[in-house]
Structure 1
Amino acid sequence: MRLHRNLCFAVIDGLTLIFNEGKYADKVIQQLLKRDKRWGSRDRAFVAETTYDIVRWKRLYAEIAEVKEPFDRDNLWRMFAVWATLKGIKLPDWKYFENTPTRKIKGRFDELSKIRKFKEAIPDWIDNLGEKELGAAVWTKEIEALNEQADVILRVNTLKTTKEKLQAELFDNDIETEFLANYPYALKLKDRANVFSTEAFKNGLFEVQDASSQKVADFLDVKPGMRVVDTCAGAGGKTLHIASLMENKGQIIAMDIYANKLHELKRRAKRNGAHNIETRAIDSTKVIKKLYDKADRVLIDAPCSGLGVLRRNPDSKWKLEESFLEKIKTTQQDILQQYSRMVKPGGKLVYATCSVLPSENQQQVEKFLTSESGKDFIFVKDDKVLSHKSGYDGFYMALLEKKA
């Protein structure tokens, strides 16, 4: 591979914004890709994948390059040189790469690869926590899996098409996909492609949604004609899946504390042809109280650490703080206590997170079930999805039933 100066400059500019200004990697990369209209798909892939790669391995590369935060541009070029050397890419004779100690880089990599926190490029506190909660053997496998690049998985919108028809339409656009066993609505891209520019996406035939995330709506056991409440709906990935499972019959109330996310959900619902979704911003407790004992199904896709989705959000491990984790556990329990009251007798509740930590998952459910609000609920089943076993995001979901 030959390095092109303008592409490398884009990567360095992106890393400056992500590491030094705390910007979100996905937003930065979206902006970078609009920088030069002459860039082809290979150029854009280089910018996106290289930026994500250096973000993912920040701790390891910084240690090898012997640089510390905040990184100035020279530091970032040194980290870039480490990335290129370890990828086996020949460094051009640019001033940024003068005196790059190629042999030393490889030797240092071999040395650091024996220490998990460097090998997997994670903060000490996350490494300690993962080992404490999952055990050393499982955590070692899990964090390795969470550092792999995520596959692109589509969820077919059954309100508008079938998996077979969608696969054929994408094939006509030179996008090859494959079915996934045990994931009835999923298509996996064989090679990365910009699926958002396809007519199939514009016509609402699919959404991009990880295979693990697709399990949640199924777990909720919805039926056409029910009243379902998605309490932390966000921009509505799971809401839209629920709508397709309900065949547009019945009512889905999508709620969130962020009204702007619900605006995005409305736009997506229109594209998907999902007509049974009503959005409600949670601007006071009244919104919740009005629905006490009224819902057949309630989904609580709770805010969490996001440690199960590090493959697609590698910058989040550098932004996450220990104090946030303690706060979010309190929030999770508060939400469970309040929102569970919307389930009517005989109805069902799913508590889900995109975390792999038992303290955010089964321990929260256990705590809820022993509380005053939880005494009316029976534990039915749960699913602890680990990335190193599934090959997809780490997830947790528990199904509870309210006594009739």
Structure 2
Amino acid sequence: MRLHRNLCFATVDGLLQIFNEGQYADKVVQQLLKRDKRWGSRDRAFVAETTYDIVRWKRLYAEIANVKEPFSRDDIWRMFAVWATLKGIKLPDWKYFENTPTRKIKGRFDELSKIRKIKESIPDWIDNIAVKELGEVKWTKEIQALNEQADVILRVNTLKTTKEKLQNILFDLDIETETLKDYPDALRLKERANVFSTEAFKDGLFEVQDASSQLVANFLQVEPGMRVVDTCAGAGGKTLHLASIMQNKGQIIALDIYANKLKELKRRAKRNGAHNIEPRHIDSTKVIKKLHDQADRVLIDAPCSGLGVLRRNPDAKWKLEPEFLDRIKNTQAEILSSYSKMVKSGGQLVYATCSILPSENQEQVDKFLASEEGKNFTFVKDKKILAHESGFDGFYMALLKRK
């Protein structure tokens, strides 16, 4: 591979924004890709993938390059040189790469690869908590899997098409997909492609949604005609899936504390042809109280550490702090206690997170069931998904039934 100056400059600029200014990697990459209209798909792929790669391995590359935060532009170039050397890419004769000790880089990599938290590029405190909660063996396998690039998984919108029809439409666009056993609405891309620019996406024939995330709506056991509340709907990935399973029959009330996310959900619902969704902004406790004992099904896709989705959000591990984890666990307990009151007698509730930590998952459910609010519920089943076992995002979901 030959390095192109303007692509490398764009990557370095983006990394400075992510590391020093705390900007989100996905937003920065989106901006970078608009930088030069002449860039082809390979150029854009280089910028996106290289940026994510260096974000993912920040700690390892910084240790090898012997640089510390906040990084200067020269520091980022040194980390870039480490990335290129370890990828086997010949460094061009640019001033930024003068005196790059390629042999030393490889030797340092071998040396540091004996220390998991550096090899897998993870903050000490996350490594410590994960070992405590999952054990050495399981966590070692899990963090390796979470450092791999995520597949692109589509969820077929069955309100508008079938899996077979969508496969054929995409095949005609030179986008090959394969079905996934045990994931009824999923298609995996055989090679990465910009699916968002296709007419099929603009017509609402599919959404991009990880396979693990696709299991949540089915876990809730919804049926057409039911009244369903999605309590932390966000931009509506799972809400839209619920609408397709319910065949647009019944009512889905999509709640969130962020009005801008619900606005995005409205836009996506229109594109999907999902007409049974009613977004409601949680601007006071009245919104929740009005729904007490009203819902056949309630989904609590709770805010969490996001440690199960590091493959697609590698910058999250550098933004997380121990205090946030403590706060989010309190929030999860409060949400379960409050939102569970919306389930009517005989109704069902799913508590879900995209975390792999038992303290955010089954321990929260156990605490809830032992509480005053939880005594009216019985535990039906749960599902713990680890990336190294499934090949997809880490997830947790528990199904509870109100007596």
TM-score, normalised with respect to structure 1: 1.00
Backbone CA RMSD of aligned residues: 0.2
Q: SS in structure 1 opposite 2:61?
A: helix
CA distance in 2, matches of 1:42, 1:396: 36
Name the structure 2 match of 1:235.
235
Within a 5 Å distance, the mapping from 1:155-304 to structure 2 comes to 155-304=155-304
AA at the equivalent of 1:375: K
Name the structure 1 match of 2:54.
54
Within a 5 Å distance, the mapping from 1:5-404 to structure 2 comes to 5-403=5-403
Deviations 1:97-145 (A, max 9, x none): 0000000000000011110001100000000011000000000000000
CA offset at residue 241 of structure 1?
A: 0.0
Q: SS in structure 1 opposite 2:346?
A: strand
CA offset at residue 308 of structure 1?
A: 0.2
CA offset at residue 384 of structure 1?
A: 0.1
AA at the equivalent of 2:53: D
AA at the equivalent of 2:244: S
CA distance in 1, matches of 2:384, 2:308: 11
Displaced runs of 4 or more, over 6 A = none
Q: SS in structure 1 opposite 2:399?
A: strand
CA offset at residue 238 of structure 1?
A: 0.1
CA offset at residue 73 of structure 1?
A: 0.4
Query: Which residues of structure 1 form unaligned runs of 5+?
Result: none
CA offset at residue 4 of structure 1?
A: 0.3
CA offset at residue 9 of structure 1?
A: 0.0
CA offset at residue 46 of structure 1?
A: 0.2
AA at the equivalent of 2:42: R
Q: SS in structure 2 opposite 1:305?
A: coil
Q: SS in structure 2 opposite 1:6?
A: helix
Q: SS in structure 2 opposite 1:397?
A: strand
AA at the equivalent of 1:289: K
AA at the equivalent of 1:10: A
Deviations 1:40-76 (A, max 9, x none): 0000000000000000000000000000000000000
AA at the equivalent of 1:290: K
State, as a whole percentage, how many aligned pairs show the same letter.
83
Deviations 1:159-214 (A, max 9, x none): 00000000000000010000001100000000000000001000000000000000
Q: SS in structure 2 opposite 1:27?
A: helix
Query: Which residues of structure 2 form unaligned runs of 5+?
Result: none
Deviations 1:276-319 (A, max 9, x none): 00000000000000000000000000000000000000000000
CA offset at residue 5 of structure 1?
A: 0.2
CA distance in 1, matches of 2:351, 2:23: 30
CA offset at residue 250 of structure 1?
A: 0.2
CA distance in 2, matches of 1:264, 1:278: 13
CA distance in 1, matches of 2:279, 2:199: 27
AA at the equivalent of 1:62: A
AA at the equivalent of 1:227: R
CA distance in 2, matches of 1:299, 1:218: 11
AA at the equivalent of 2:281: A
TM-score, normalised with respect to structure 2: 1.00
AA at the equivalent of 2:269: A
Q: SS in structure 2 opposite 1:128?
A: helix
AA at the equivalent of 2:12: I
Deviations 1:209-252 (A, max 9, x none): 00000000000000000000000000000000000000000000
